[in-house]
Amino acid sequence: INAEYMGTFSYWLEAMPPKDTKKAPAAAEKKAAAPAKAAAPAKKAAPAGGVTKKAQAAKKAVLQGTHSKSQAKIRTSIHFHKPKTLRLPRKPKYPRQSSAARSKLDNSTIVQNPLTTESAMKKIEDNNTLVFIVDKRSNKPQIKNAVQRLYSVKVAKVNTLVRPDGQKKAFVRLAADCDALDVANKIGII
């Protein structure tokens, strides 16, 4: 079949099945009986020009394709980023943990024991400083808070170091109004 023939209106008419075979002879008889209505088909012929234009447009679309005028999107960046898709927040049906995890570092775990070496005693007398072995995972604010709660004293500052044997040593300097000797006596170091 020729491509030009495919686009013509007559081809589409041939391809369409007849509407009703029984009514077709009756319609032919009516046209023969009424010659006065010969002007009416002339008026219907006028839209046939529009139909042929439609057929021409359909032919053009078949030959050229309908997506010929699409333009490529202008890209302003040399990087390609995946598009942001919808990410819904989690709505669990039940909690995965029955209760929040309890902190394993409480005051008595943080401060393990006071040091009673000669150098520690010297620090108590000269620098108003107590020396403790503390948990290695604890930090300075936790050590300060634990000493204040355990011995009800005011702490000025805390210095820490990790000894070669892997234990953490904390030098807890007490405030000027608290005496380290009294606290050491109360603990039972001296």
| pLDDT tens-digit profile, the chain (190 residues) | 555 555 555 555 566 666 655 555 555 555 555 555 544 455 555 556 678 999 998 888 888 877 767 788 888 999 999 999 999 999 999 999 988 888 889 999 999 999 999 999 999 999 999 999 999 999 999 999 999 999 999 999 999 999 999 999 999 999 999 999 999 999 998 8
pLDDT value of residue 47: 55
- As given in the structure block, the two tokens for residue 45 are 């012929």
Query: What pLDDT is recorded for position 141?
Result: 97
pLDDT at 67: 72
> What is the per-residue pLDDT for 182?
94
User: How far apart are alpha carbons 16 and 21 in whole angstroms?
Assistant: 13
Q: Of 115, 186, 116, 117, which is closest to residue 153 (Cα–Cα)? A: 186
- The torsion of the CA quartet 88, 92, 98, 99, rounded to 10 degrees, works out to 30
Please calculate the CA angle 110-158-160 and round it to the nearest 5 degrees.
70
Quote the tokens at residue 132: 């403790």
Report how far residue 136's alpha carbon sits from residue 117's, in angstroms, rounded to the nearest whole number. 20
